[in-house]
Structure 1
Amino acid sequence: MDNARTRWASLEVEDWTPTRETLHMWLQIVGKIRMAGSPFVNHWWHVTLALTARGLGTGPIPIDGRILDIEFDFIDHQLTLRTSDGRLERFALQPMTVAEFYRRTFAALAALDVEVRIHPAPNEVDPAIPFADDVEHRSYEPAQVHAFWTQLIQADRVLRQLRAEYRGKASPVHLFWGALDLATTRFSGRPAPVHPGGAANCPDRVMVEGYCDELSSAGFWPGGGREGAFYAYAYPEPDGYREVAVPDGAFYDHQLQEFILPFETVRQAEDPDALALEFLRVTAAAAARLGTWPPVERTRAGSGRD
């Protein structure tokens, strides 16, 4: 098997559900710290986490004239907290309750003389157990978390390519810790109908702001299908969008109201990158074409793609 295929790790959703659900809550805690310390950016882009060479991180958070940076290290399995005055705190990522992770994280912040307040309960999950009370989620399997991170590395690469091919307004490739998905979003430049909201344990104003402009979004979600899935959707969804022809193995999920391409289908393909990109490009082009988006210079010089 060539290197291009072996980079795509197999990770059964059912096998790592306990660890994924625990990690999800830990990521929400750190994501909320970033949100509390960062100025607001449209569509909630200031709350997200980003892929790093060792795991997932906040990037720079301005705190009291300093910079705070928090990183989940999925190689040595540590949470590392750094400040721009040269101070550092870390602790091991290992089986522990969400309540214990919450306590340790804020103890590390206190040791760095960082004061920050967050809403101490998760969003977009039900039930939303307050972090300090969550002794239910406690699993951490390092090999599973590392495999998840390698999935993100592959997804990040193809999503970055998709984003690079569009000259209009587009989000970075970033991880939203609410639903735990890695995503990038294109915008037509026109306002969208008011979103109805309805996400679990999440104020409607969050979805209203996130979807205030007409968009086409794509990403990778580790909780769908057998091994996770790439997805694509448009808001508002134009007529005929769900009937668009997509690559073999992909399909429109009427319950989720989005196109799905199972991760295992990509992983087993002769050229995984080519299949994932074909899916992402076809669905993005259909959203713009069927939604009659205003003309923009959609391609980088030399890319040769819409």
Structure 2
Amino acid sequence: MEKRILDYTEWQDTADTLHLFLQMAGKVKIERSEKRPGWGHIRMPLSIDGIGTGIIPGNGGSFEIYFNLRQHHVDVQDTNGRKSRIPVEDGLSVADFYAQLMGALEYIGEPTRINTTPQEFHVQTPFEQDTRHHSWDRQAVAVYLDNLHFAYRSLTRFLAPFRGKVFTPQYWFGTMDLSGTVFAGQAAPYGGTDQIGVNCFDEKFVEYGFWPGDVNMTKPAFYGMPYPFMAAIDSYATMLKPEAAVFQPQLNEFILTLEDAFAAPDPEQAVVEMCRSSFEIVQRIDRWADLDWITEPMTYPAVPSSG
């Protein structure tokens, strides 16, 4: 793939607009879906052409909201054949998109009221009032989609062999990242009271993902976030691979920037190395009870080479 990198500052207006558009769809999914542990019900699957909600329970059927980031439109459709399409172009504000999305849901018979305050976002203007965000740079969106596909391939290589409970990489609308998680199956009660944390941080896990940067850290990067959180890794720092990967105490996360991954001879393998080495460090500091079973090698036969 072509190695294209966007610093968040280079496409912030479009990134924020896209983020808020996707948040609306995610909030519809929250309201309609059966609840799962760890907010598993709000994850949004990546596809070749974009990001969608997946199947959402409806009124006697099902529906979905799909963002085609290649053709630049959003389809709202149900299992009864009703469909509404929203073209996305530069100048379409968050407020205008919100009105059109609500209208599309009404049209297919699935009106849904949502909390219109942005989630985990640096601006709290309600969707229906936000005329500030209205940018749509098609080239930047294409780069972002390419990077999501690279992240999906890389993270899947690491996550696929694990046994037990694993979230494969999908999109999280709150923080605009694509991530998957390995769970220990061991309770680890959360000390806070916020709704997001209480329903997320309740068992040991390590989340691995990619996010495109934000107002606090503008470089797109891969991360590994252990829970319970770690403030330091001390003498184990030398185990972290590749050399460009770091542990950032202020984030409680392992970090490998997209730029550093792309600079490696094998970019996907560089991401896998960061994931594997950081997972090993986590186990050195706090070994999971059933680690041997969770990491037991699979026994599938090797794929035969073509003649």
Question: Are 2:43 and 1:51 equivalent residues in the alignment?
Answer: no
Q: Distance in 2 between matches of 1:220 and 1:282?
A: 17
Question: Are 2:87 and 1:92 equivalent residues in the alignment?
Answer: yes
Question: Are 2:19 and 1:24 equivalent residues in the alignment?
Answer: yes
Asked whether the equivalents of residues 190 and 197 of structure 2 are also in contact (C-alpha less than 8 Å), the reply is: no
Q: Secondary structure at the match of 1:172?
A: strand
Q: Distance in 2 between matches of 1:272 and 1:195?
A: 38
Question: Are 2:268 and 1:259 equivalent residues in the alignment?
Answer: no
Question: Are 2:97 and 1:101 equivalent residues in the alignment?
Answer: yes
The 5 A counterparts of 1:117-128 are 117-128=113-124
- Partner letter of residue 282 of structure 1? S
Question: Are 2:1 and 1:9 equivalent residues in the alignment?
Answer: no
Q: Relative to structure 2, which stretch is displaced further, 233-242 or 39-48?
A: 233-242
Q: CA deviation at 1:227?
A: 4.1
- Which residue is equivalent to 1:110? 106
The 5 A counterparts of 1:107-186 are 107-186=103-182
Figure out how many residues of one structure are paired with residues of the other and give that number: 293
Which of 214, 226, 236 is matched with 2:228 structurally?
236
Question: TM (normalized to structure 2)?
Answer: 0.90
Q: Distance in 1 between matches of 2:118 and 2:190?
A: 24
Q: Distance in 1 between matches of 2:199 and 2:3?
A: 34
- Which residue is equivalent to 1:248? 243
Asked whether the equivalents of residues 7 and 154 of structure 1 are also in contact (C-alpha less than 8 Å), the reply is: no
Q: CA deviation at 1:300?
A: 4.2
- Which residue is equivalent to 2:278? 283
Asked whether the equivalents of residues 195 and 212 of structure 1 are also in contact (C-alpha less than 8 Å), the reply is: no
Q: Distance in 1 between matches of 2:164 and 2:230?
A: 19
Q: Distance in 2 between matches of 1:234 and 1:103?
A: 39
Stretches of structure 2 lacking an aligned partner (at least 5 in a row):
301-307
Which of 197, 200, 208 is matched with 1:218 structurally?
208
Q: Secondary structure at the match of 1:194?
A: coil
Q: CA deviation at 1:239?
A: 7.9
Stretches of structure 1 lacking an aligned partner (at least 5 in a row):
1-5, 198-203
Asked whether the equivalents of residues 152 and 182 of structure 1 are also in contact (C-alpha less than 8 Å), the reply is: yes
Asked whether the equivalents of residues 45 and 53 of structure 2 are also in contact (C-alpha less than 8 Å), the reply is: yes
% identity of equivalent residues: 30
- Partner letter of residue 177 of structure 1? F
Q: 1:221 to 1:292 in 2, by over 3 A?
A: same
